[in-house]
Structure 1
Amino acid sequence: MINDNFLRQRLKIRHLRLIRSIHERKSISLAAEEMGVTQAAVSKTKAEIEDFIGMPLFRHDQERWQPTEIGSRLIHGAYLILSEIDAINDELMHLREGVQGTVAVGLRTYALLPSLAKATTMFKELFPQVTLSLVDAPYGELIEQAERGQIDMVISPLAEEVPRFRYSSIPIKGARHMIFGSVGHPLGIKDNPTWKEAIEYPWCLSPTGTRTRRHFEVLIEKLRLPFPSNVIETNSLVLSMNLLREGKLLTVIPVGVAQGLGATPDDELGQFKLLVRDNVGGPINLPLYDMGDTVTLTWASDRVPTPAARLLRDFLILRFNPDERRSVPDFKWTGPAVEPEAGRD
């Protein structure tokens, strides 16, 4: 049985950090190394906590320490408590020395990379002492890290998977896609190429299960056409661009990325005209039927954000969707005026 007196009066911050470290490292020796103590000290402290609680927190499975059910509950609480303590510490540092600290941002969108690069540069010019950690990983991993307090916010398209923690989420930008072809592609010189023609050519596409691939599959189904049979799959934008440079391929890329490669809007035609850069390629004038996403900014709403995290969140809101600031209860931007991005969707 859990000793109430222990949890309320004797459980210390170092206990929580030790539990978290064992969980993350899955090893007593690695946890000891991370905390700068001996393995014996880690084992002794773990045993003391388990003795007071009356139940084991971890089980040894295939040479790795895995949490038990009660261990998982305590680990979850440890992440919440430690993230709150870190936020309070940053708040005190902010009051004493000005805004500083690290903000971790999970990214799961190619579509906004050019816009986010610009916004990141603008923010750093305002707050050079704030370190920005931009983490690119699968959406599920980013949400798990956000739940633990390891990531402050996630920027991604709307997802079917709902976070298990209390969260707030606002739309920040529409992410449209377009068809892009290699330099000299036969469809690139045609005014009105057709999809029936396009599917006969080689394609470079995102792997099955990705959002861009699903959008493309839905579009092909709507057009009642067979899926292209000549396909190279890759989830690397850099590799895609190199493949386009070497061959005669078609691909699906975000409009923002295409603009970064030199494709510029033609106001009169409502299309894109080609301005080749780095010998990669240009837009193919194929109708897309609203193939795109809404990219959102998501953060834990039941946790106090650090001053630096709040600043970045509020800056991104003002940069991409300033109307949404009214829907964020703790919005309190104190920096200089932020110019909204031109051409917001």
Structure 2
Amino acid sequence: MLPSPDSLSTRLKLKQLRLLVAIDDFGSLHRAADELALTQPGATKALREIESTFGNELFVRTSQGMVPNELGRCVIRYAKLIQTDVTHLVEEMEGVLTGIGGRLAVGAIMGAVSGVLVDAVTRLRRKQPSLRTEITEDTSVRLLALVESGRLELALCRLSVARQPENFVYIPLRDEPLTIIAGPTHPLASTPSLALADLADCGWIVYPRVMPLRSLLEREFKEAGLPFPAHPIETASMTATMLLLQTDPNLVTLMPRDMSDFLIEHGLAIRLDIDVRSRTEPYGIVTRRGTSLSAAARLLIDELTNSAKGGADGYR
């Protein structure tokens, strides 16, 4: 029989949840006990109490150590979320009590980093210079997982890849125009009115298959009646892409315009004169539904929406 929410809130203790996370981290009750400064009998008793509360065992005892079962993985995921929320509570309390500071963890897809996030964070830090800001750049899929787990308070990404979009609140922010760029010494750098066929002999840097921009580029080649490049370099790393363009003058890549504008402005790339007909899905601000956002997060959303859409009153 499953415990009721009231039963869990009455019987569970934060230190018990820390024990579950530690066992998962170390694979050992003994090492988890050492980490939390518990005696071995005390840790054993605490684990029995936790499993009694849930009415089920949470770990499988193996020769390699303790491994969470399916229910254990579920409970540990929420235990980590609760720990994160407690940490955020303390940090937000600090910001409330002092009137400054606090912590903000935000993520963004590559195009949104240079497109809107950096400028918004810069403006926010002028107003809140003691704010501790953590920025994560990743794919939409991974950013959504981080938002859902509480690791990020908000992310700038696409919601269409979410398995359970109902778990999130989404504010559309802006489109993401695309360009094809190359290194500054590319042979086609000054050639006007290029077609995709003109790049058939070029080496390509492409996004991994799980990313929407990879599917978009594949569609461009298909609609042009061309085979997709046979031996591309696959990476989602902006740093790797930038360095590859500098070292191999034959390479080209598809990139969000905001990011390519930065590279072109600093002489690190050139834009090839070719139209990209396909359009990407707009990205937006994603937060976890049912979460009370910190003051810093609300201020950042204001900065983002005031510059792009004009307001985020739905979060107040």
Contiguous gaps of at least 5 residues in structure 1: 264-276, 332-345
Number of aligned positions between the proteins: 313
Provide the aligned C-alpha RMSD in A: 3.0
Match of 2:113 in 1: 113
TM-aligned CA deviation for residue 303 of structure 1: 2.0
Match of 1:102 in 2: 103
- In 1, Cα distance between the equivalents of 2:99 and 2:51? 41
- CA displacement, residues 5-63 of structure 1 (integer Å, 9 cap, x when unaligned): 96353322322333344345544355445534445433321122223444212223563
TM-aligned CA deviation for residue 156 of structure 1: 1.5
Which range is displaced more, 204-213 or 28-37? 28-37
2:252 pairs, out of 245, 250, 253, with 250
Note if contact 2:192-2:273 (Cα within 8 Å) is conserved in structure 1.
yes
Match of 1:170 in 2: 171
Decide whether aligned partners of structure 1 residues 12 and 89 sit closer, same or farther in structure 2, where only a CA change above 3 A counts. same
- In 2, Cα distance between the equivalents of 1:319 and 1:51? 52
TM-score when scaled to structure 2? 0.84
- In 2, Cα distance between the equivalents of 1:211 and 1:304? 30
Which range is displaced more, 82-91 or 8-17? 82-91
Match of 1:144 in 2: 145
Note if contact 1:171-1:296 (Cα within 8 Å) is conserved in structure 2.
yes
Counterpart amino acid of residue 114 in structure 2? P
- In 2, Cα distance between the equivalents of 1:308 and 1:33? 36
Match of 2:264 in 1: 262
TM-aligned CA deviation for residue 133 of structure 1: 1.4
1:301 pairs, out of 265, 286, 289, with 289
Match of 1:202 in 2: 203
Match of 2:307 in 1: 319
Q: Alignment identity in percent?
A: 24
- In 2, Cα distance between the equivalents of 1:151 and 1:221? 37
- In 1, Cα distance between the equivalents of 2:308 and 2:43? 47
Higher helix share: 2
- In 2, Cα distance between the equivalents of 1:95 and 1:195? 55
- The residue matched to 1:113 in structure 2 has which SS? helix
- In 1, Cα distance between the equivalents of 2:140 and 2:227? 30
TM-aligned CA deviation for residue 183 of structure 1: 2.1
- The residue matched to 1:171 in structure 2 has which SS? strand
Match of 1:272 in 2: none
1:288 pairs, out of 268, 276, 287, with 276
Question: Where does structure 1 differ by over 6 angstroms across 4 or more consecutive aligned residues?
Answer: 2-5
Note if contact 2:216-2:278 (Cα within 8 Å) is conserved in structure 1.
no
Counterpart amino acid of residue 264 in structure 2? G
- CA displacement, residues 247-268 of structure 1 (integer Å, 9 cap, x when unaligned): 22211111111211235xxxxx
Decide whether aligned partners of structure 1 residues 8 and 158 sit closer, same or farther in structure 2, where only a CA change above 3 A counts. closer
TM-aligned CA deviation for residue 69 of structure 1: 4.7
Contiguous gaps of at least 5 residues in structure 2: none
- CA displacement, residues 96-136 of structure 1 (integer Å, 9 cap, x when unaligned): 222432222233x1112223222222212211222111223
- The residue matched to 1:188 in structure 2 has which SS? coil
TM-aligned CA deviation for residue 311 of structure 1: 3.0
TM-aligned CA deviation for residue 137 of structure 1: 4.0
**1:4-153 matched pairs, under 5 angstroms:** 7=8, 9-23=10-24, 26-29=27-30, 31-32=32-33, 34-61=35-62, 63-72=64-73, 74-75=75-76, 78=79, 82=83, 85=86, 89=90, 92-107=93-108, 109-115=109-115, 116-153=117-154
Note if contact 1:158-1:295 (Cα within 8 Å) is conserved in structure 2.
yes
- CA displacement, residues 122-167 of structure 1 (integer Å, 9 cap, x when unaligned): 2122112221112234544433332232221222134323347622
- In 2, Cα distance between the equivalents of 1:202 and 1:85? 49
Note if contact 1:87-1:307 (Cα within 8 Å) is conserved in structure 2.
no
Counterpart amino acid of residue 233 in structure 2? I
Note if contact 2:140-2:158 (Cα within 8 Å) is conserved in structure 1.
no
- The residue matched to 1:111 in structure 2 has which SS? helix
